[in-house]
Structure 1
Amino acid sequence: MDELVDILDAEGNFTGKTAMKSEAHKHGLFHPTVHVWFYTKNGQVVLQQRGKDKDIHPLLWDVSVAGHVGAGENIETSAIREVSEEIGLDITSNELEKIGVFKSIQNHHENLIDCEFHHTYLCELKVPFSQLQKQDSEVEALALTPLLKFSEETWGLANPQKYVPHSVDYYKTIIKAIKKRL
Protein backbone atom coordinates (compact mmCIF):
# COMPACT_ATOMS: atom_id res chain seq x y z
CA MET A 1 0.00 0.00 0.00
CA ASP A 2 1.38 3.39 -0.97
CA GLU A 3 1.35 6.09 1.67
CA LEU A 4 2.78 9.52 2.32
CA VAL A 5 6.05 9.44 4.33
CA ASP A 6 8.35 12.08 5.77
CA ILE A 7 11.66 12.53 3.98
CA LEU A 8 14.82 12.54 6.10
CA ASP A 9 18.37 13.64 5.33
CA ALA A 10 21.27 11.17 5.37
CA GLU A 11 21.68 11.73 9.13
CA GLY A 12 18.03 10.92 9.93
CA ASN A 13 16.83 14.50 10.43
CA PHE A 14 13.44 15.60 9.16
CA THR A 15 13.68 17.76 6.03
CA GLY A 16 10.13 19.12 6.13
CA LYS A 17 9.41 17.33 2.83
CA THR A 18 7.11 14.41 2.18
CA ALA A 19 6.71 11.93 -0.67
CA MET A 20 4.74 8.85 -1.47
CA LYS A 21 6.50 5.70 -0.23
CA SER A 22 6.81 4.46 -3.82
CA GLU A 23 8.66 7.67 -4.80
CA ALA A 24 10.94 7.47 -1.76
CA HIS A 25 11.85 3.91 -2.78
CA LYS A 26 12.26 4.78 -6.44
CA HIS A 27 14.63 7.69 -5.75
CA GLY A 28 16.41 6.37 -2.66
CA LEU A 29 15.03 9.02 -0.30
CA PHE A 30 15.56 8.40 3.40
CA HIS A 31 12.39 7.88 5.46
CA PRO A 32 11.52 6.51 8.93
CA THR A 33 10.29 3.01 9.71
CA VAL A 34 9.50 1.12 12.90
CA HIS A 35 10.71 -2.32 13.99
CA VAL A 36 9.19 -4.02 17.04
CA TRP A 37 10.86 -7.20 18.30
CA PHE A 38 8.68 -9.29 20.62
CA TYR A 39 10.32 -11.71 23.01
CA THR A 40 9.17 -14.02 25.80
CA LYS A 41 10.62 -14.26 29.30
CA ASN A 42 11.59 -17.88 28.57
CA GLY A 43 13.99 -16.79 25.81
CA GLN A 44 12.04 -16.94 22.59
CA VAL A 45 11.63 -14.33 19.88
CA VAL A 46 8.59 -13.81 17.65
CA LEU A 47 9.50 -13.87 13.98
CA GLN A 48 7.35 -12.87 11.05
CA GLN A 49 7.54 -14.55 7.67
CA ARG A 50 6.98 -11.86 5.06
CA GLY A 51 4.03 -12.34 2.73
CA LYS A 52 4.57 -14.16 -0.56
CA ASP A 53 3.41 -11.12 -2.55
CA LYS A 54 5.82 -8.62 -0.97
CA ASP A 55 8.08 -6.74 -3.42
CA ILE A 56 11.08 -7.09 -1.13
CA HIS A 57 12.23 -10.37 0.46
CA PRO A 58 9.00 -12.37 0.05
CA LEU A 59 8.75 -15.39 2.37
CA LEU A 60 11.91 -14.52 4.32
CA TRP A 61 11.78 -14.35 8.13
CA ASP A 62 12.09 -10.93 9.71
CA VAL A 63 11.37 -8.70 12.68
CA SER A 64 8.15 -9.46 14.62
CA VAL A 65 6.48 -6.29 13.31
CA ALA A 66 7.75 -3.64 10.90
CA GLY A 67 6.28 -0.81 8.91
CA HIS A 68 6.59 2.67 7.53
CA VAL A 69 5.88 5.74 9.62
CA GLY A 70 3.16 7.85 8.03
CA ALA A 71 3.93 11.50 7.28
CA GLY A 72 3.51 13.54 10.46
CA GLU A 73 2.86 10.42 12.54
CA ASN A 74 4.52 10.01 15.92
CA ILE A 75 7.06 7.16 15.85
CA GLU A 76 5.59 5.30 18.86
CA THR A 77 2.05 5.77 17.53
CA SER A 78 3.22 4.19 14.29
CA ALA A 79 4.75 1.24 16.17
CA ILE A 80 1.53 0.67 18.13
CA ARG A 81 -0.54 0.87 14.93
CA GLU A 82 1.71 -1.59 13.08
CA VAL A 83 1.57 -4.09 15.97
CA SER A 84 -2.22 -3.94 15.92
CA GLU A 85 -2.40 -4.30 12.11
CA GLU A 86 0.19 -7.04 11.62
CA ILE A 87 -0.30 -9.32 14.64
CA GLY A 88 -3.63 -8.17 16.11
CA LEU A 89 -2.19 -7.17 19.48
CA ASP A 90 -3.08 -3.98 21.34
CA ILE A 91 -0.14 -2.51 23.27
CA THR A 92 0.63 0.82 24.90
CA SER A 93 3.66 3.07 24.53
CA ASN A 94 4.70 2.05 28.08
CA GLU A 95 5.31 -1.49 26.80
CA LEU A 96 7.71 -0.33 24.06
CA GLU A 97 11.38 -0.04 24.90
CA LYS A 98 13.37 1.84 22.27
CA ILE A 99 16.82 0.36 21.78
CA GLY A 100 18.05 2.44 18.87
CA VAL A 101 17.73 3.88 15.40
CA PHE A 102 19.50 1.99 12.63
CA LYS A 103 20.40 3.41 9.23
CA SER A 104 19.77 0.95 6.41
CA ILE A 105 20.46 1.26 2.69
CA GLN A 106 19.48 -1.62 0.44
CA ASN A 107 19.70 -1.42 -3.34
CA HIS A 108 17.19 -4.02 -4.48
CA HIS A 109 17.19 -2.93 -8.12
CA GLU A 110 17.32 0.22 -10.24
CA ASN A 111 13.83 1.39 -9.26
CA LEU A 112 13.85 0.19 -5.66
CA ILE A 113 16.41 1.71 -3.33
CA ASP A 114 15.40 1.35 0.30
CA CYS A 115 16.97 4.11 2.42
CA GLU A 116 15.47 3.92 5.88
CA PHE A 117 16.05 4.71 9.52
CA HIS A 118 14.61 1.84 11.58
CA HIS A 119 13.32 3.09 14.94
CA THR A 120 13.71 -0.17 16.82
CA TYR A 121 11.87 -1.35 19.91
CA LEU A 122 11.66 -4.38 22.15
CA CYS A 123 8.38 -5.49 23.67
CA GLU A 124 7.75 -8.45 25.95
CA LEU A 125 5.03 -10.76 24.67
CA LYS A 126 2.70 -11.03 27.67
CA VAL A 127 -0.13 -12.97 26.03
CA PRO A 128 -0.07 -16.54 24.73
CA PHE A 129 1.49 -16.77 21.25
CA SER A 130 -1.74 -18.42 20.04
CA GLN A 131 -3.59 -15.12 20.58
CA LEU A 132 -1.62 -13.37 17.83
CA GLN A 133 -3.56 -12.88 14.60
CA LYS A 134 -1.47 -12.31 11.50
CA GLN A 135 -2.47 -9.81 8.83
CA ASP A 136 -2.96 -12.10 5.84
CA SER A 137 -2.09 -9.43 3.26
CA GLU A 138 1.32 -8.74 4.83
CA VAL A 139 2.30 -11.77 6.89
CA GLU A 140 2.65 -15.36 5.69
CA ALA A 141 3.32 -16.86 9.12
CA LEU A 142 4.41 -16.14 12.69
CA ALA A 143 6.78 -18.30 14.72
CA LEU A 144 8.31 -18.45 18.17
CA THR A 145 12.01 -19.26 17.87
CA PRO A 146 14.51 -19.88 20.66
CA LEU A 147 16.84 -16.89 20.95
CA LEU A 148 19.87 -19.19 20.82
CA LYS A 149 18.79 -20.69 17.48
CA PHE A 150 17.98 -17.23 16.12
CA SER A 151 21.38 -15.91 17.17
CA GLU A 152 23.21 -18.89 15.65
CA GLU A 153 21.40 -18.39 12.34
CA THR A 154 21.86 -14.63 12.09
CA TRP A 155 25.16 -13.66 13.75
CA GLY A 156 27.30 -15.26 11.11
CA LEU A 157 24.47 -15.18 8.61
CA ALA A 158 24.69 -18.97 8.70
CA ASN A 159 21.28 -19.19 7.08
CA PRO A 160 21.09 -16.12 4.78
CA GLN A 161 18.40 -17.59 2.55
CA LYS A 162 16.05 -17.77 5.56
CA TYR A 163 16.24 -14.21 6.97
CA VAL A 164 15.94 -10.68 5.62
CA PRO A 165 19.55 -9.53 5.18
CA HIS A 166 19.87 -6.91 7.89
CA SER A 167 23.44 -6.23 8.95
CA VAL A 168 25.11 -8.62 11.39
CA ASP A 169 25.58 -5.66 13.77
CA TYR A 170 21.82 -5.02 13.69
CA TYR A 171 21.03 -8.64 14.56
CA LYS A 172 23.71 -8.71 17.29
CA THR A 173 22.26 -5.56 18.87
CA ILE A 174 18.76 -7.05 18.93
CA ILE A 175 19.91 -10.36 20.39
CA LYS A 176 22.11 -8.75 23.07
CA ALA A 177 19.29 -6.37 24.06
CA ILE A 178 16.83 -9.27 24.47
CA LYS A 179 19.38 -11.34 26.44
CA LYS A 180 19.80 -8.45 28.91
CA ARG A 181 16.09 -8.57 29.68
CA LEU A 182 15.83 -12.31 30.33
Structure 2
Amino acid sequence: MDELVDILDAQGNSKGISLMKSEAHRMGWFHPTVHVWFYTKNNQVLIQQRGKDKNTFPLLWDVSVAGHVGAGELIEISALREVQEEIGLEIRLIDLYKIGVFKSIQKHSKNLIDCEFHHTYICELKVPFNSLKKQETEVESLALIPINQFKKELFELNIQGKYVPHKKTYYQTIITALEKVLIKSQ
Protein backbone atom coordinates (compact mmCIF):
# COMPACT_ATOMS: atom_id res chain seq x y z
CA MET A 1 0.00 0.00 0.00
CA ASP A 2 1.37 3.38 -0.96
CA GLU A 3 1.17 6.15 1.60
CA LEU A 4 2.48 9.63 2.23
CA VAL A 5 5.71 9.71 4.32
CA ASP A 6 7.83 12.55 5.69
CA ILE A 7 11.24 12.96 4.07
CA LEU A 8 14.35 13.20 6.26
CA ASP A 9 17.94 14.22 5.64
CA ALA A 10 20.84 11.78 6.15
CA GLN A 11 20.97 12.70 9.87
CA GLY A 12 17.27 11.96 10.41
CA ASN A 13 16.04 15.56 10.50
CA SER A 14 12.86 16.58 8.73
CA LYS A 15 13.27 18.22 5.34
CA GLY A 16 9.77 19.68 5.65
CA ILE A 17 8.34 17.74 2.72
CA SER A 18 6.24 14.63 2.30
CA LEU A 19 6.16 12.24 -0.65
CA MET A 20 4.49 8.98 -1.49
CA LYS A 21 6.39 6.01 -0.06
CA SER A 22 6.90 4.61 -3.57
CA GLU A 23 8.57 7.86 -4.65
CA ALA A 24 10.79 7.93 -1.53
CA HIS A 25 11.88 4.36 -2.30
CA ARG A 26 12.43 5.10 -5.99
CA MET A 27 14.58 8.13 -5.23
CA GLY A 28 16.32 6.75 -2.13
CA TRP A 29 15.02 9.47 0.21
CA PHE A 30 15.30 8.88 3.94
CA HIS A 31 12.04 8.44 5.87
CA PRO A 32 11.01 7.12 9.30
CA THR A 33 9.78 3.62 10.12
CA VAL A 34 8.88 1.81 13.33
CA HIS A 35 10.04 -1.60 14.54
CA VAL A 36 8.44 -3.31 17.54
CA TRP A 37 10.01 -6.47 18.95
CA PHE A 38 7.73 -8.47 21.25
CA TYR A 39 9.10 -10.79 23.91
CA THR A 40 7.57 -13.07 26.53
CA LYS A 41 8.49 -13.50 30.19
CA ASN A 42 9.61 -17.05 29.36
CA ASN A 43 12.46 -15.79 27.14
CA GLN A 44 10.84 -15.98 23.73
CA VAL A 45 10.79 -13.46 20.91
CA LEU A 46 7.96 -13.02 18.41
CA ILE A 47 9.17 -13.05 14.81
CA GLN A 48 7.21 -12.38 11.66
CA GLN A 49 7.61 -14.04 8.30
CA ARG A 50 7.15 -11.39 5.65
CA GLY A 51 4.37 -11.89 3.14
CA LYS A 52 5.13 -13.77 -0.07
CA ASP A 53 4.07 -10.78 -2.19
CA LYS A 54 6.30 -8.21 -0.44
CA ASN A 55 8.65 -6.23 -2.72
CA THR A 56 11.53 -6.68 -0.31
CA PHE A 57 12.65 -9.86 1.42
CA PRO A 58 9.50 -11.93 0.80
CA LEU A 59 9.13 -14.92 3.13
CA LEU A 60 12.15 -13.98 5.26
CA TRP A 61 11.74 -13.74 9.04
CA ASP A 62 11.94 -10.29 10.58
CA VAL A 63 10.93 -8.01 13.44
CA SER A 64 7.59 -8.77 15.18
CA VAL A 65 5.96 -5.67 13.68
CA ALA A 66 7.31 -3.02 11.32
CA GLY A 67 5.91 -0.27 9.17
CA HIS A 68 6.24 3.19 7.77
CA VAL A 69 5.39 6.29 9.76
CA GLY A 70 2.64 8.22 8.00
CA ALA A 71 3.27 11.85 7.08
CA GLY A 72 2.71 14.04 10.14
CA GLU A 73 2.11 11.01 12.37
CA LEU A 74 3.81 10.75 15.75
CA ILE A 75 6.33 7.90 15.86
CA GLU A 76 4.71 6.26 18.91
CA ILE A 77 1.22 6.47 17.40
CA SER A 78 2.56 4.84 14.26
CA ALA A 79 3.96 1.99 16.37
CA LEU A 80 0.59 1.43 18.04
CA ARG A 81 -1.18 1.52 14.66
CA GLU A 82 1.22 -0.94 13.04
CA VAL A 83 0.89 -3.39 15.95
CA GLN A 84 -2.91 -3.26 15.60
CA GLU A 85 -2.78 -3.67 11.81
CA GLU A 86 -0.17 -6.42 11.56
CA ILE A 87 -0.95 -8.67 14.53
CA GLY A 88 -4.37 -7.45 15.74
CA LEU A 89 -3.11 -6.42 19.16
CA GLU A 90 -3.99 -3.23 21.00
CA ILE A 91 -1.21 -1.94 23.22
CA ARG A 92 -0.66 1.33 25.08
CA LEU A 93 2.15 3.86 24.76
CA ILE A 94 3.32 2.91 28.24
CA ASP A 95 3.91 -0.66 26.99
CA LEU A 96 6.56 0.48 24.49
CA TYR A 97 10.20 0.80 25.50
CA LYS A 98 12.33 2.61 22.93
CA ILE A 99 15.80 1.13 22.49
CA GLY A 100 17.09 3.31 19.67
CA VAL A 101 16.92 4.70 16.17
CA PHE A 102 18.84 2.82 13.51
CA LYS A 103 19.87 4.21 10.14
CA SER A 104 19.41 1.66 7.37
CA ILE A 105 20.23 1.80 3.67
CA GLN A 106 19.36 -1.17 1.49
CA LYS A 107 19.55 -0.96 -2.27
CA HIS A 108 17.27 -3.65 -3.66
CA SER A 109 17.31 -2.49 -7.26
CA LYS A 110 17.83 0.66 -9.33
CA ASN A 111 14.29 1.79 -8.52
CA LEU A 112 13.94 0.46 -4.97
CA ILE A 113 16.27 1.94 -2.37
CA ASP A 114 15.23 1.74 1.27
CA CYS A 115 16.78 4.65 3.18
CA GLU A 116 15.12 4.55 6.56
CA PHE A 117 15.48 5.44 10.20
CA HIS A 118 14.03 2.55 12.23
CA HIS A 119 12.55 3.83 15.50
CA THR A 120 12.88 0.60 17.46
CA TYR A 121 10.96 -0.59 20.51
CA ILE A 122 10.61 -3.69 22.63
CA CYS A 123 7.32 -4.65 24.23
CA GLU A 124 6.17 -7.53 26.39
CA LEU A 125 3.64 -9.84 24.75
CA LYS A 126 1.01 -10.21 27.45
CA VAL A 127 -1.60 -12.18 25.51
CA PRO A 128 -1.58 -15.80 24.34
CA PHE A 129 0.18 -16.32 21.02
CA ASN A 130 -2.94 -17.89 19.49
CA SER A 131 -4.90 -14.67 20.07
CA LEU A 132 -2.76 -12.77 17.55
CA LYS A 133 -4.38 -12.09 14.17
CA LYS A 134 -1.90 -11.63 11.34
CA GLN A 135 -2.58 -9.17 8.55
CA GLU A 136 -2.93 -11.50 5.56
CA THR A 137 -1.55 -9.05 2.99
CA GLU A 138 1.61 -8.27 4.98
CA VAL A 139 2.36 -11.28 7.18
CA GLU A 140 2.83 -14.87 6.03
CA SER A 141 3.34 -16.35 9.48
CA LEU A 142 4.18 -15.58 13.11
CA ALA A 143 6.34 -17.61 15.47
CA LEU A 144 7.56 -17.48 19.04
CA ILE A 145 11.09 -18.79 19.40
CA PRO A 146 13.49 -18.89 22.35
CA ILE A 147 15.76 -15.84 22.41
CA ASN A 148 18.78 -18.15 22.73
CA GLN A 149 17.76 -19.95 19.53
CA PHE A 150 17.25 -16.62 17.74
CA LYS A 151 20.69 -15.46 18.90
CA LYS A 152 22.33 -18.74 17.86
CA GLU A 153 20.74 -18.69 14.41
CA LEU A 154 21.84 -15.10 13.81
CA PHE A 155 25.40 -15.19 15.13
CA GLU A 156 26.67 -18.74 15.59
CA LEU A 157 25.02 -20.62 12.76
CA ASN A 158 24.86 -17.50 10.58
CA ILE A 159 21.81 -18.86 8.79
CA GLN A 160 21.65 -17.15 5.40
CA GLY A 161 18.30 -16.65 3.74
CA LYS A 162 16.15 -17.09 6.86
CA TYR A 163 16.24 -13.59 8.38
CA VAL A 164 16.12 -10.12 6.83
CA PRO A 165 19.77 -9.02 6.58
CA HIS A 166 19.79 -6.13 9.05
CA LYS A 167 23.20 -5.01 10.28
CA LYS A 168 24.79 -7.25 12.91
CA THR A 169 24.92 -4.31 15.34
CA TYR A 170 21.15 -3.87 14.97
CA TYR A 171 20.46 -7.50 15.90
CA GLN A 172 23.00 -7.33 18.75
CA THR A 173 21.24 -4.27 20.18
CA ILE A 174 17.86 -6.03 20.00
CA ILE A 175 19.11 -9.16 21.75
CA THR A 176 20.99 -7.18 24.42
CA ALA A 177 17.86 -5.10 25.17
CA LEU A 178 15.68 -8.22 25.38
CA GLU A 179 18.12 -10.04 27.65
CA LYS A 180 18.47 -6.97 29.88
CA VAL A 181 14.73 -6.51 30.36
CA LEU A 182 14.25 -10.23 31.01
CA ILE A 183 16.98 -10.27 33.66
CA LYS A 184 15.32 -7.30 35.40
CA SER A 185 11.95 -9.04 35.41
CA GLN A 186 13.24 -12.17 37.14
Instruction: Please indicate the TM-score interval, normalised by the length of the shorter structure.
Output: over 0.9
Alignment gaps of 5+ in structure 2: none
- Residues 21-100 of structure 1 aligned to structure 2 (within 5 Å): 21-100=21-100
Q: Deviations over 1:104-141 (max 9, x none)?
A: 00000100000000000000001111110100010000
What letter matches 1:170 in structure 2?
Y
1:17 aligned to 2:17? yes
Shift of 1:157: 6.8
Q: Deviations over 1:145-177 (max 9, x none)?
A: 110010111135711210000001000000000
Q: Check the 8 A contact 1:156/1:168 in 2, yes or no.
A: no
Q: Secondary structure at the match of 1:181?
A: helix
Inter-partner Cα distance in structure 1 for 2:181 and 2:37: 13
What letter matches 1:2 in structure 2?
D
Inter-partner Cα distance in structure 2 for 1:68 and 1:157: 31
Inter-partner Cα distance in structure 2 for 1:161 and 1:35: 20
TM-score w.r.t. length of structure 1: 0.99
- Residues 113-124 of structure 1 aligned to structure 2 (within 5 Å): 113-124=113-124
Inter-partner Cα distance in structure 2 for 1:156 and 1:27: 36
Question: Which 4+ runs in 1 deviate beyond 6 A?
Answer: none
Inter-partner Cα distance in structure 2 for 1:136 and 1:160: 25
Inter-partner Cα distance in structure 1 for 2:160 and 2:125: 26
Inter-partner Cα distance in structure 1 for 2:7 and 2:181: 34
Q: Residues 35 and 54 (structure 1 numbering): CA distance in 2 closer, same or farther, change over 3 Å?
A: same
What letter matches 1:27 in structure 2?
M
Inter-partner Cα distance in structure 2 for 1:127 and 1:169: 29
Inter-partner Cα distance in structure 2 for 1:97 and 1:160: 29
Inter-partner Cα distance in structure 2 for 1:164 and 1:105: 13
Inter-partner Cα distance in structure 2 for 1:154 and 1:73: 33
* Equivalent in the alignment of 1:7: 7
- Residues 125-136 of structure 1 aligned to structure 2 (within 5 Å): 125-136=125-136
Inter-partner Cα distance in structure 1 for 2:118 and 2:151: 20
Inter-partner Cα distance in structure 1 for 2:75 and 2:156: 31
Aligned-residue identity in percent: 69
Alignment gaps of 5+ in structure 1: none
Inter-partner Cα distance in structure 1 for 2:147 and 2:120: 18
TM-score w.r.t. length of structure 2: 0.97
* Equivalent in the alignment of 1:176: 176
Inter-partner Cα distance in structure 2 for 1:152 and 1:118: 24
Inter-partner Cα distance in structure 2 for 1:148 and 1:106: 27
Q: Deviations over 1:30-57 (max 9, x none)?
A: 0000000000011000000000000000
